[in-house]
Amino acid sequence: MGAAMSGFLRDLRIVLRQLGRAPLFALAAVITLGLGIGANTAIFSTLDALLLRMLPVRDAGHVYTVTLEHGGTQPPNTSGTGFGNTSFAFPVFERLRERTDVFDALIAHVPLGGGKVAVRVGDTPDERAGEEVSGNYFSGLGAPMESGRGLTDDEERTHAQVAVISDRFWQEAFGGAPDVIGRTLFVKGVPLTVVGVTAPAFHGVSYLGGVDFWIPLQTRPELAAWGDTKESLYGSPKWWAVPMVARLRAGMTPVAAVHALQASFWQASEESAGKLDRAKWPATLGFTAVRGVLGAEGRYGPALRIMMTLVALVLLIACTNVALLITARNHARRREFAVRLALGANSQQLLRQFLIESVLLVGAGSLLGWALAMMVTHALAVWAHIETGLAPDSAVLGVTLLVATVTALVFGLVPLRGMLRLDLDDELKAGRQMSGVSRAQTFAGNAAMAVQVALCFTLLTASALAVRSLLHFEERDLGMDAQRVLVFDVTPQQVTTDTQALGFYTRLMQRLEGVPGVESASLVRFRPGSSWLMSGGIHLDGVLLHEASGAKAGISANDVGPGYFSTMGIGLLQGRSIEEGDRDGAPLVAVVNEEFAQRYLKNGALGHRIDQDPGYLIVGVVKDSKYKNVTENTRPTVYYSLAQRGMMGQVTVAVRAGGNPMALLPDVSRAVREIDPSIPLQKPMTEETQFAESYLVPRLFSRLAVGFGLLAAVLVATGLYGTLAYRVQRRRAEIGVRMALGAERGRIVVMVLGESLRMAGGGLLLGAPLCVMIAHLLRSQLYQLDPLDPFSLSVALCLTVLVAVLAALVPARRAASLDPMEALRVE
């Protein structure tokens, strides 16, 4: 053991000394590996955090999200809020939670708003994500606590005004104060007593983001589920809005649970919706294992899997590059190896040193890659507004170590074949160290570089397609002037009636319109571009609307204030818009968009009525505009008067600016604080930025694709440069002879450039089928773009050729500047 350790330390000293003599080689290898490993670690860490990671709770493998299968969404004659197939009626939850033969716990967790809600700690207004949950939320999940306790069933029954906060909220809002238990948190003006703090790793099971606080299920309108004051969990049996998470009993499988619960589920559904026809709504329960972040699979899953493919190509380029560096370095050291073998060293000693060298290089590259991954995942979390954190964990560390180990073994064995085939007599001959490059070596080098160029071409194709697709998103017609509109959400505090809310918003509009630079201001229930909308079937002149196919018409709807259309820059085509007089007690009115009028009222929309008894009189028609996001097809849309539909809860304020909307933010914020200093401005941004949020994933995908494409180009350029520079050095004598025999310097430049372009040409031919494959893989991420878009492919091809030319310029110039006599003399 002592001799082995002594031998290892001796070999380690030799390797460190050799690397110290070649610092540029060591630095290039470490940086190249660090970039490749870092890119892969960052993307895999993101994929793991969003799609694979188990909840940090007790026996996480028994925790499932409850879903609606086969039926798609809530049953007919009901309303729904939330995530389609994961929202249930409260009576369904109450009936199913009684089935203790199936569940250890059935848990309800309902957001307090479509996003963050207004909170206050002390005198500081803030916005945070919150949920109202059943009393068994923490005990049923087995969620870890930092301090204090979770909620209780008694607190659910009494709708107690208590809260559990996250570790992040505790640190950011309470400064990590040890006396936080018992302190007061105000949510929408309602005081809540903090009773517990969750462990740092627990972020809840909410959709695409961490939850900052949890409260028991409530009946107060200020704390209404989803911020919808017109509905109530306890008083709206037809409202399907409750997401559920289940912990199944030991031995109970999801399939067995579905079979055991189906009768109870159907009875509870009919209690909510009335008599149901199984042929029209064949819904069953489903159970999906809770992994990653709820909702992330549909939004991020396809893009992340494609991105993993792209970064794997980057790692392959990096590894090929380092293999070429090691091969070139060891070829230059063949005489050194021959001398050492001739003096008594054996092949096992050299192999150990090769492995030690590769472990050192790969280890340093892995450390650099880990540091880069930490930075990249932090940036991705910020860009994507993911608050659960994407930092690598132990699973990601394990994958990184596996990749590093395989890479180290490969690099350690790369030189072995050449070393075992050394001809000592030949290698020790004088002048051997300056010999040229054999055909076999040239072929192997060309093949390796062709593979790199092929992968680079593929990545640049993906980059070009992603950028072209993003441009299509950004060039879309929104149907409004979104650039000059500032939008933000407000939630009036301690407002319990629509009359109080109307008074608050009237004062707010008057104050905002007095701010210098504000042209107009208005209100809207759901801001366009936020991915939230109201939809459902409606009656037109007393008759339920149907499409030509016979299906019930799907109509979008929104509630807006006076001056909304002029503020948003949506043109009025006929009649009038919503006005100040359209309030509670006045005749009910509505405005429809052009698509609604052309589809259902071709002979004129004005004067018709929507809904029944007595219904809303259509008083205007406006131009079509985007509502949910930029990719949606134009839908028939009805705009109601906000004052006639209820103004309680969170509302979006829209402000049209004479100049830069964001420049108005300080004055607008000051105006709101003058009315109520406890109200935060929630999610302030331009309307254009809001729509850009609706294609956040394609924008991130484009950024990453471009980044990895450029990284591939740099790595390939480095590899080409190194290969050509090495060959020029080894062919000094040949080049000297050519020049001595009359070859012009320009022909030498062309010779080196030609060699680079031949390798690039081989790579382009090899990469063509790869590009077709990756283009079709990208299809789901492209918007209004053919995967084989000729322009994108042409750009990628030209960039690849440019990389080959630029990489060859310095070696070509160096070859052309050789003094032929000096080169021959040295040789």
Provide the pLDDT for residue 113: 84
Residue 781, token pair as written in the block: 């991420």
pLDDT at 244 over 80: yes
Question: Domain boundary residue among 652, 678, 704?
Answer: 678
Do 272 and 314 belong together in one domain? no
Residues 39, 371 contacting (CB under 8 angstroms): no
Average pLDDT over residues 708-726: 89
Cβ partners under 8 Å of residue 382, min gap 6 = none
Highest mean pLDDT among 4-18, 143-157, 489-503: 143-157
Closest CA to 442 of 29, 769, 762, 28: 762
Closest CA to 423 of 336, 338, 490: 338
Any idea which of 7-16, 47-56, 121-130 has the lowest mean pLDDT? 7-16
Residues 610, 638 contacting (CB under 8 angstroms): yes
Determine, yes or no, domain membership for 485: no
Do 554 and 668 belong together in one domain? yes
pLDDT at 434 over 50: no
CA distance 431 to 416: 24
Closest CA to 482 of 668, 700, 694, 699: 694
pLDDT at 464 over 90: yes
**DSSP secondary structure string, 657-677?**
ESS-GGGGHHHHHHHHHHH-T
Any idea which of 75-89, 563-577, 620-634, 751-765 has the lowest mean pLDDT? 75-89
pLDDT at 143 over 80: yes
Do 260 and 336 belong together in one domain? no
Any idea which of 313-327, 442-456, 543-557, 718-732 has the lowest mean pLDDT? 543-557
Determine, yes or no, domain membership for 234: yes
Average pLDDT over residues 46-63: 88
Provide the pLDDT for residue 283: 85
Average pLDDT over residues 214-218: 95
Domain hosting 798: range is: 456-477+695-827
Average pLDDT over residues 571-584: 93
pLDDT at 811 over 50: yes
Cβ partners under 8 Å of residue 436, min gap 6 = 730, 731, 733, 734
Q: Between these two residues, 767 and 54, which has the higher pLDDT value?
A: 767
pLDDT at 159 over 70: yes
Do 65 and 49 belong together in one domain? no
State residue 406 phi and psi, 5-degree precision.
-60, -45
pLDDT at 457 over 90: yes
Provide the pLDDT for residue 74: 79
Average pLDDT over residues 471-484: 90
If you average pLDDT over every residue of the chain, what do you get? Answer: 86
Specify whether the backbone of 604 is left (phi greater than 0), alpha (psi in -120 to 50) or beta.
left
Do 46 and 67 belong together in one domain? no
Question: Domain boundary residue among 249, 268, 296?
Answer: 296
E strand or H helix at 519: strand 518-524
Do 624 and 512 belong together in one domain? yes
Cβ partners under 8 Å of residue 696, min gap 6 = 383, 384, 385
Determine, yes or no, domain membership for 324: yes
Do 212 and 351 belong together in one domain? no
Average pLDDT over residues 228-235: 77
Average pLDDT over residues 574-583: 93
Q: Between these two residues, 32 and 827, which has the higher pLDDT value?
A: 32
Reduced 3-state DSSP string for 738-794: HHHCCCCHHHHHHHHHHHHHHHHHHHHHHHHHHHHHHHHHHHHHCCCCCCCCHHHHH
pLDDT at 435 over 70: no
CA distance 545 to 532: 23
Do 146 and 14 belong together in one domain? no
Tell me the three state secondary structure of residue 145.
strand
Name the domain count of the chain: 4
CA distance 594 to 590: 13
Query: DSSP class of residue 291?
Result: B
Determine, yes or no, domain membership for 212: yes
CA distance 515 to 518: 6
Any idea which of 198-207, 394-403, 586-595 has the lowest mean pLDDT? 394-403
Average pLDDT over residues 286-304: 85
E strand or H helix at 525: none
pTM above 0.85, yes or no: no
- Model confidence band, residue 665 (pLDDT cutoffs 50, 70, 90): very high
Do 633 and 518 belong together in one domain? yes
Any idea which of 561-575, 695-709, 723-737 has the lowest mean pLDDT? 723-737
Do 819 and 768 belong together in one domain? yes
The Cβ of residue 121 has, within 10 Å, a number of other Cβ atoms equal to 20
Q: Between these two residues, 805 and 414, which has the higher pLDDT value?
A: 805
Question: Domain boundary residue among 269, 296, 323?
Answer: 296
Provide the pLDDT for residue 716: 92
Do 373 and 310 belong together in one domain? yes
Q: Could you tell me what percent of the chain has a pLDDT over 90?
A: 45
Average pLDDT over residues 436-456: 79
- Model confidence band, residue 174 (pLDDT cutoffs 50, 70, 90): very high
Determine, yes or no, domain membership for 446: no
CA torsion sign, 717 to 721 to 727 to 733?
positive
- Model confidence band, residue 326 (pLDDT cutoffs 50, 70, 90): confident
Determine, yes or no, domain membership for 684: no
Q: Between these two residues, 180 and 542, which has the higher pLDDT value?
A: 180
Q: Between these two residues, 783 and 404, which has the higher pLDDT value?
A: 783
Determine, yes or no, domain membership for 32: yes
- Model confidence band, residue 413 (pLDDT cutoffs 50, 70, 90): low
Determine, yes or no, domain membership for 486: no
CA distance 480 to 280: 39
pLDDT, one tens digit per residue, over 264-286 is 999 999 888 888 888 888 888 99
Do 462 and 519 belong together in one domain? no
Residues 535, 554 contacting (CB under 8 angstroms): yes
